[in-house]
Amino acid sequence: MKQKRKMTLLGKQSAAGWIFLTPATILIAVMAFWPMIQAFIMSLQTGSSANMQWAEPIFNNYKRMFADKLFLTSVGNTFLYLIIQVPIMLILAILLAQLLNNRDLRLKGFFRTCVFLPCATSLVSYSLIFKSLFATDGLVNTILVNLGILQENYNFLGNSLSAKVVIIIALIWRWTGYNMVFYLAGLQNIEYSVYEAAKIDGANGWKTFWGITVPLLKPTIIMTFIMSINGTLQLFDESVNLTNGGPANATITMSHYIYNNSLGQGVANFGYATAMSFFVFIIVAILAFINMKVGDTRD
Nearest to 35 by CA among 295, 278, 285: 278
Nearest to 71 by CA among 280, 292, 213: 280
Kindly provide the b/e burial profile for residues 74-83, where b requires at least 16 CB atoms within 10 angstroms of the residue's own CB. Answer: bbebbeebbe
What residue ranges in 188-280 does DSSP mark as E strands? none
- Separation between Cα atoms, residue 262 and residue 239, nearest integer Å: 16
Residue 39, pLDDT score: 87
- The burial class, CB within 10 Å (0-12 / 13-18 / 19+), for 202 is exposed
Residue 195, pLDDT score: 77
pLDDT greater than 80 at residue 123: yes
Question: How many CB atoms are located within 10 Å of the residue 59 CB?
Answer: 12
Q: Give the 3-state secondary structure of residue 86.
A: helix
Q: How confident is the model at residue 16 (pLDDT cuts 50, 70, 90)?
A: confident
Residue 58 has φ and ψ, to the nearest 5°, of -60, -35
Angstrom CA distances, 53 to 45, 162, 193, 268, 271, stand at 5, 43, 66, 14, 9
pLDDT greater than 50 at residue 164: yes
Nearest to 97 by CA among 183, 19, 165: 183
Query: In the chain, what is the straight-line distance between the N-terminal and C-terminal CA atoms, in Å?
Result: 39
Angle among Cα 113, 116, 117 to the nearest 5 degrees reads 80
* CA Rg value for the chain: 25
For the ranges 41-55, 75-89, 276-290, the one whose mean pLDDT is highest: 75-89
- Residue-wise pLDDT tens digits, 172-225: 999 999 999 999 998 888 887 777 787 787 777 777 888 888 888 888 998 899
* Chain center to CA of 264: 22
Q: Which of 1-10, 49-58, 230-239, 265-274 has the lowest mean pLDDT?
A: 1-10
Residue 152 has φ and ψ, to the nearest 5°, of -145, 165
- Separation between Cα atoms, residue 43 and residue 296, nearest integer Å: 34
Residue 168, pLDDT score: 95
- DSSP β-ladder status, 45-46 and 53-54: antiparallel
Residue 7, pLDDT score: 57
Q: Which residues pair with 45 in a beta bridge?
A: 54
Q: How confident is the model at residue 266 (pLDDT cuts 50, 70, 90)?
A: low
Residue 219, pLDDT score: 87
pLDDT greater than 50 at residue 1: no
